[in-house]
């Protein structure tokens, strides 16, 4: 059955598009209603639920609004342009049946499965996937996403999303290690609204993505730097050896005084056992979160405070690398971090917020 609309209804405005960015005050029509966006949004279909970003302006008819239908209209081939689709965000390792339509977040495009497959990359496996378009519908949550399956430890990033962010990560950087590390700082990615929580998680993961080449490197690659990280003016010296305090883990923790401070805060003797940061995934993640939550670095605030208090992603960069990158120090490096943050925020379905650069 295709419901009819009253000829007296207000004309429908431009149909909603899952790939379009809407800012406060912009409008779209969806399921026979006109809607106004209250703030920035993308990929969240108009409804009275969700984050509350959409305000219902009442029923509409005529114009260019799509008419609701009980049919899913799923695409069955590369040349098909369905009026509406039931689709999901593509997740590696998820079984997809022929005819399934997915959105591939890295490039924002839609693909239809032309053969059953166990989650092959749509941009690589052209035998199993073909490009398609998907009308005006928005992706429904993946069955492995946090909306249907509670994430371990309540973390706002699901394992599937984590794997999507870091497809080439070193096996050392386990998702379970990250979740275990959350216990050390319960406020991490767990302060403020759901949007702020996800923004902080995206910001943290974007910065460590930059520090480790996409979670590929566990230790600093320039071994010539290793002897430089021993501050002999500290009363406790460098008991593990002058060259033992090089960069390790997701934040690339370095210097004897940072190993001492992180170990004291976490209840782990990292001054005498710095290798724990490269052999124990949970310890490695804890040092990254420790720095994020407690250290201003060369900035004026912690990265955590920058995200939860609205200072913006740019201030997290300043807290990590200061003038080495900010204030024109290395704009290419800053942009690399911003690009990762924008991508990760999109995967988590939240806006980036303002003040992205430093």
What SS3 string covers 4-70?
CCCCCCEECCCECCCCCCECCCCEEEECCEEEEECCCECCCCCCCCCCCCEEEEEEEECCCCCCCCC
Q: How far is CA 220 from CA 153, 212, 213, 248, 259, in A?
A: 30, 8, 11, 6, 15
Q: Are 253 and 239 in contact (CB under 8 A)?
A: no
> In the prediction, which pLDDT does 80 show?
36
C-alpha dihedral over 96, 101, 104, 108, to 10 degrees?
Answer: 180
> In the prediction, which pLDDT does 291 show?
95
Q: Are 175 and 221 in contact (CB under 8 A)?
A: no
- Phi, psi for 81 (deg, rounded to 5): -125, 85
> In the prediction, which pLDDT does 240 show?
97
Strand (E) or helix (H) holding 289: helix 281-294
Q: Are 72 and 88 in contact (CB under 8 A)?
A: no
pTM of the model: 0.59
Which residue shows structure tokens 């969806």? 30
Find the distance separating the first CA and the last CA of the chain, reported in whole Å: 54
Q: Which residues form the catalytic set?
A: 211
Render 161-180 in DSSP notation, one character per residue. Answer: HHHHH-TT--TTS-HHHHHH
> In the prediction, which pLDDT does 76 show?
35
CA angle 281, 214, 288 (to 5 degrees): 40
Q: Counting every residue, how long is the chain?
A: 358
SS3 content of the chain, % helix, strand, coil (to 5): 30, 10, 55
Q: Are 28 and 22 in contact (CB under 8 A)?
A: yes
In angstroms, rounded to a whole number, what is the distance separating the alpha carbons of residues 317 and 190? 20
Q: How far is CA 93 from CA 75, 121, 142, 164, 174, in A?
A: 21, 9, 12, 10, 16
Q: Are 257 and 150 in contact (CB under 8 A)?
A: no
Structure tokens at 27: 């409008």
Residue burial 33-52, b: 16+ Cβ < 10 Å; e: rest: bbbbbeebbbbbbbbeeebe
Structure tokens at 302: 């912690």
> In the prediction, which pLDDT does 336 show?
92
> In the prediction, which pLDDT does 142 show?
38
Each residue's pLDDT expressed in tens, for the chain with a length of 358 residues: 333 333 345 788 888 776 666 666 778 888 788 888 765 565 677 877 655 667 888 888 754 333 333 333 333 333 333 333 445 677 766 777 777 787 777 677 888 887 777 777 777 666 677 888 764 344 434 333 333 334 556 899 999 999 999 999 999 999 988 998 888 899 999 999 999 999 999 999 999 999 999 999 999 999 999 999 999 999 999 999 999 999 999 999 999 999 999 999 999 999 999 999 999 988 999 999 999 999 998 999 999 999 999 999 999 999 998 889 999 999 999 999 999 999 999 999 999 999 999 9
């Amino acid at each position: 059955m295709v419901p009819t609309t009253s000829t007296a209804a207000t004309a429908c405005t431009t149909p909603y598009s899952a790939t379009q960015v809407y800012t406060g005050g912009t409008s779209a029509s969806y399921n026979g209603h006109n809607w106004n966006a209250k703030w920035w949004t993308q990929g969240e279909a108009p409804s009275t639920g969700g984050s509350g970003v959409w305000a219902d302006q009442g029923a509409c008819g005529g114009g260019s609004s799509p008419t609701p239908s009980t049919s899913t209209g799923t695409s069955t081939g590369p040349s098909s342009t369905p009026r509406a689709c039931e689709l999901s965000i593509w997740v590696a390792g998820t079984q997809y049946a022929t005819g399934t339509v997915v959105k591939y977040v890295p490039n924002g495009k839609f693909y239809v499965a032309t053969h059953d497959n166990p989650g092959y990359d749509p941009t690589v496996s052209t035998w199993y996937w073909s490009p398609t378009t998907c009308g005006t519908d928005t992706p429904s949550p993946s069955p492995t996403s946090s909306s249907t399956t509670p994430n371990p430890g309540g973390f706002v990033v699901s394992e599937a999303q984590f794997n999507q962010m870091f497809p080439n990560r070193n096996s050392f950087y386990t998702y379970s290690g990250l979740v275990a590390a959350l216990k050390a700082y319960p406020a991490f990615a767990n302060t403020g609204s759901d949007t702020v929580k996800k923004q902080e998680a995206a910001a943290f993961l974007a910065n460590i993505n930059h520090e480790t080449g996409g979670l590929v490197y566990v230790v600093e690659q320039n071994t010539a730097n290793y002897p430089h990280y021993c501050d002999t003016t500290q009363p406790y010296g460098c008991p593990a050896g002058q060259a033992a305090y090089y960069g390790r883990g997701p934040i690339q923790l370095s210097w004897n005084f940072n190993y001492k401070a992180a170990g004291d805060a976490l209840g782990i003797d990292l001054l005498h056992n710095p290798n724990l940061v490269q052999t124990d995934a949970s310890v490695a993640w804890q040092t990254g979160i420790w720095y994020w939550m407690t250290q201003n670095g060369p900035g004026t605030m912690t990265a955590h405070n920058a995200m939860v208090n609205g200072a913006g992603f740019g201030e997290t960069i300043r807290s990590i690398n200061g003038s080495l990158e900010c204030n024109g120090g290395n704009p290419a490096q800053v942009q690399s971090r911003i690009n990762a943050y924008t991508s990760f925020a999109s995967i988590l379905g939240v806006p980036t917020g303002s003040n992205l650069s430093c």
